[in-house]
Amino acid sequence: MSLTLFIGNKNYSSWSMRPWMALKAANIPFEEFFIPLYTDAADKQRILSVTKSGKVPALADGDVTVWDSLAIIEYLAERFPDANLWPEDRAIRAQARSISAEMHSGFMPLRNECGMNIHRPIASKKLSDDAMANVARIQQIWTDCRARYGGEGPYLFGRFTAADAMYAPVIHRFRTYDIPVTAPVRDYMTAMLENPAFQKWTEDALAETLVIDKFESD
pLDDT tens-digit profile of 183-200?
999 999 999 999 999 999
pLDDT tens readout for residues 106-126: 999 999 999 999 999 999 999
Q: Are 99 and 144 contained in the same domain?
A: yes
Q: Are 109 and 137 contained in the same domain?
A: yes
Let me know if residue 121 belongs to a domain. Answer: yes
Q: Are 190 and 94 contained in the same domain?
A: yes
Question: Checking DSSP bridges between strand 58-61 and strand 31-34, what pairing results, if any?
Answer: unpaired
pLDDT at 30 over 90: yes
**pTM for the model:** 0.94
Q: Are 132 and 173 contained in the same domain?
A: yes
pLDDT at 19 over 90: yes
pLDDT tens readout for residues 93-110: 999 999 999 999 999 999
Q: Are 140 and 64 contained in the same domain?
A: no
> Domain containing 45 — which CATH number?
3.40.30.10
Q: Are 97 and 61 contained in the same domain?
A: no
Q: Are 77 and 26 contained in the same domain?
A: yes
pLDDT tens readout for residues 131-166: 999 999 999 999 999 999 988 899 999 999 999 999
Q: Are 64 and 166 contained in the same domain?
A: no
Let me know if residue 48 belongs to a domain. Answer: yes
Range of the domain at 192: 90-201
Domain closes at, from 33, 65, 83:
83
pLDDT at 42 over 60: no
Residue 41 confidence (pLDDT): 58
Q: Are 121 and 179 contained in the same domain?
A: yes
Q: Are 105 and 185 contained in the same domain?
A: yes
Residue 192 confidence (pLDDT): 98
Q: Are 116 and 195 contained in the same domain?
A: yes
Task: Give the count of domains, the chain.
Answer: 2
pLDDT at 1 over 60: no
Q: Are 75 and 152 contained in the same domain?
A: no
